[in-house]
Structure 1
Amino acid sequence: MTSELTIKLEQKGRAKYKPASDYKIEDVQKVLLQKIIEENSKIPDVNIDSDYLANIQYQQNKVNVLSLFSGCGGLDLGFELAGLAAVIGEDAAMAAFANRDTFDAVRENSIFHTIYTNDLFNEANESYAMNFPRDHFQHGIDIRKVRNFPKSDLVIGGFPCPGYSVGGPRLIDDERNFLYLHFIRAITQAKPAIFIAENVKGMLTLGKGEVIRQITDDFSAAGYRVQYQLLNSRDYGVPQLRERVFIVGVRNDIAFDYHYPQATHGGNLQPFVTLNDAIGDLKDYPGPLYTGSYSSMYMSRNRKKRWDEQSFTIQASGRQAPLHPGGLPMEHIGTDQWQFPNGEAHHRRLSVKEIARIQTFPDWFTFSDGGNLDASENSRVDKQYKQIGNAVPVLLAKAVATPIAQWAVTYLQQREQQNSQQLMLF
């Protein structure tokens, strides 16, 4: 790409470059169009592992789900739980969810059935395999190298977001910004009735809003009615301040109008779930956690919430994990400067188990650390922090999935009554 299209300054900042701020929308459009051409050129002529397509395990009486950028499965688990609640009831589903054996005994009743997952992160794939039924095909290769995707009824996934993050360099032409094109490529082949794509809040303002416009236009061009909305996880029973964008597309020929879930917590609703509610019982037995010093960047802002508050956003890094709420609060001593009033020894980061709770994973959900006994404990647990921080909070995913699950149950019942001979749901 030529230098006039990079939309970034050749100036060192927190990342390799600092983004330019005086660009024009026309410049952004040129960058996006050029990168789209470049990304499409990377698609292989020959599919890798193409034999799997003949062995996809469809279930005619289920919503067959294709999961992209699956990670350890936070979004997938939330969908599975919503699909179970739609069949056996909310109370029964949530009661079963608390125990692995109980959940395993009933989870096959979920209206959602995953047939395919894709992710490059080995440890996340291992975690997914340990916690989900083995009746799906797990593709552990770069999505850009997958030429053909299986047919499905629903496609879900959170395409990678470092290029959009307000905490990162915010480069418009970051190649990671364009992995959504392969999400679109997947839906053009899978032809699902509905897709759900999750991403960070920063994508709404990147390129002065031109990036989200381009993304939604591209999804719409694939034959979908597309909408997006910013949701805060704490409004849905998650003890965390985490804002994420959910892009929802319904195929143009499908008679279903998706409505985003109404908040269930806050205001006159149920009280927000607090850190004390979520992790108060782990004070003495937190489990493995990331240890070590704190960087000047880490100490540039407050990292500790009170017990009666919700956590800061859980990030995909052990080093950047928020502080445990116990002990004295941090003190603000100057511009971008905070300190521990009684020294580092009296403060610690949230543990792996604590951040998993904050992301609303059940305690039975296990996370692979790669199994490398020669690696340091920090190195091993950091792989777990990364998986958990990258995941969609399970209860937020469940809230987003619930309208689809409820509609799909009725649709499947109608189809069964009509004795349809179609293999696929839609």
Structure 2
Amino acid sequence: MPDHWPEVNPEKPTAIDIFAGCGGLSFGLKKAGFQNLLAVEWDVSCCETFKENISPRVLQCAIQEVDTFPSCDILVGGPPCQGFSNLGERVPNDPRRQLWLHFLRAVRDANPLIFIMENVPPLLKSAEYQEIYKQARKLDYDVEDRILNAADYGTPQRRKRAFVIGSRIGKPAFPKPTHRNPDESPTFENKDLSVWKTVRDAIGDLSPIPDEKNWHIGRNPTEKSLRRYSYIPLGGNRWDLPIELMPECWKRKTKGGTDLFGRLWWDKPSVTIRTEFYKPEKGRYLHPVENRPITHREAARLQGFDDDFKFIGKRIEVGIQIGNSVPPPLAYQIGLAVIKEIRKSKRKKVTSEQMKRESVYV
């Protein structure tokens, strides 16, 4: 690794993040008490954002170019999910489906106490996941998987992702929810939890008019687009458009998702924020009351990013950074759960070594 990188603190647990993106997962882990030992990401703008907010210890390259990985306490990463995603046709021979092999190579090299793989839920039903599980077990990891909803962990967004946790120090630790769905009757276990955060909670204080500051920027819609936006009520979608304003392809396609050209609700979490959230034709991305799509800053807040998190890149690049991120509030809760287990394991190891030394003199 480069000599000019800053030294790591030997007292803090270390993390390696591969397929790091702009660092949403690492940002949450950092808040939970981890320090970044190494991040690997091929995209230049993502690397610059990661360096600005988390650590300069970043390799800008393809994962295949990394010869070996140093030892660490936790290794995390989300191999590109397009090969597994339900969005569009899944291609069995998509080379991106093979990048998990490099994730496991990193696990073998670094031998972390814990690894975490994040991906879309269809991963868990794939043949690749069966192989991931089998290979991780051969490396002496206990492996468990769960689908977590970011809304349950303080993110103002309904975003479900699969998390696979492997542990060499006991049963894999998943975080307990910090928030609950207000539309469901509370249970004994969750009755004291706060209800889900909403779009209003996240963006209600922002200027209704984009001002170009801190990525509060929007598109320049055509007059026809503005007319279309004006017909969509709160919670509405493309079917609220008058026939003369409906694109021909939508007229022919009478079935399909109800989120296309949809308007967000104020008092619910947002739908999943994806990379083209600034295009309402891609999903439910119209502002609750303004006749425009949400801005980059609004999307970042709906992902749980603090306003002082600095994105670096062009508009499209930053949109991709925001949409592909693990929401930091969810990453933080995961980090708290696993760092507790790592510290417990290290305390046990120190105690055991002390007892061995003392027994020599008995």
Q: TM-score, normalised by structure 2?
A: 0.77
SS at 2:136 equivalent: helix
AA at the equivalent of 2:130: R
Distance 1:415 1:55, change over 3 A: farther
Counterpart among 227, 248, 262 of residue 144 in structure 2: 227
Alignment of 1:328-367 (within 5 A): 347-367=291-311
- Residues 42-88 of structure 1: CA deviation (Å, up to 9, x unaligned): xxxxxxxxx549978443212111110111110001111122xxxxx
Distance in 2, Cα, partners of 1:365 & 1:179 = 28
1:74 lines up with 2:21 in the alignment: no
Alignment of 1:270-289 (within 5 A): 270-286=194-210, 287-289=216-218
Distance 1:210 1:417, change over 3 A: closer
Counterpart among 370, 383, 394 of residue 328 in structure 2: 394
Partner of 1:113: 35
How far apart are 1:412 and its partner, in Å?
4.4
Partner of 1:22: none
Distance 1:248 1:171, change over 3 A: same
Distance in 1, Cα, partners of 2:65 & 2:217 = 36
Partner of 1:172: 92
Distance in 2, Cα, partners of 1:368 & 1:321 = 25
Q: Is the 8 A contact 2:28 2:329 kept in 1?
A: yes
Partner of 2:240: none
Distance in 2, Cα, partners of 1:391 & 1:410 = 29
SS at 2:179 equivalent: coil
Distance 1:204 1:347, change over 3 A: farther
SS at 2:36 equivalent: strand
Partner of 2:341: 407
How far apart are 1:300 and its partner, in Å?
5.6
AA at the equivalent of 2:330: L
How far apart are 1:171 and its partner, in Å?
1.6
Q: Is the 8 A contact 1:261 1:403 kept in 2?
A: yes
- Residues 375-408 of structure 1: CA deviation (Å, up to 9, x unaligned): xxxxx31111100111100011111121112233
Distance in 2, Cα, partners of 1:164 & 1:242 = 16
Runs of 4+ in 1 over 3 A off after TM superposition: 51-59, 290-301, 318-322, 409-420
Q: Is the 8 A contact 1:69 1:118 kept in 2?
A: yes
AA at the equivalent of 2:153: Y
Distance in 2, Cα, partners of 1:312 & 1:55 = 39
AA at the equivalent of 2:217: P
* Equivalent pairs, count: 306
Distance in 1, Cα, partners of 2:286 & 2:68 = 45
How far apart are 1:350 and its partner, in Å?
1.1
Partner of 2:312: 368
SS at 1:324 equivalent: coil
Alignment of 1:221-260 (within 5 A): 221-251=138-168, 254=169, 256-260=170-174
Q: Is the 8 A contact 1:258 1:403 kept in 2?
A: no
1:130 lines up with 2:52 in the alignment: yes
Identity of aligned residues (%): 30
Distance in 2, Cα, partners of 1:55 & 1:307 = 44
Partner of 1:263: 177
Distance in 2, Cα, partners of 1:227 & 1:413 = 24
SS at 1:282 equivalent: coil
- Residues 334-381 of structure 1: CA deviation (Å, up to 9, x unaligned): xxxxxxxxxxxx632111101111111100001112xxxxxxxxxx31
- Residues 124-176 of structure 1: CA deviation (Å, up to 9, x unaligned): 11111111243x2x111110121211121210111110011101211222110
Q: Is the 8 A contact 2:80 2:96 kept in 1?
A: yes
Range that drifts further, 233-242 or 287-296 = 287-296
AA at the equivalent of 2:172: Y
Counterpart among 284, 288, 302 of residue 326 in structure 1: 288
Distance in 2, Cα, partners of 1:54 & 1:214 = 38
RMSD after superposition: 2.6
Q: Is the 8 A contact 1:184 1:222 kept in 2?
A: no
Distance in 2, Cα, partners of 1:140 & 1:152 = 19
For structure 1, the 5+ residue unaligned runs are: 1-50, 84-111, 328-345, 370-379, 421-426
SS at 2:39 equivalent: strand
Q: Is the 8 A contact 1:321 1:349 kept in 2?
A: no
1:312 lines up with 2:312 in the alignment: no
Q: Is the 8 A contact 1:288 1:351 kept in 2?
A: yes
Q: TM-score, normalised by structure 1?
A: 0.66
For structure 2, the 5+ residue unaligned runs are: 181-185, 211-215, 226-246, 355-362
Counterpart among 33, 49, 59 of residue 139 in structure 1: 59
Q: Is the 8 A contact 1:289 1:381 kept in 2?
A: no
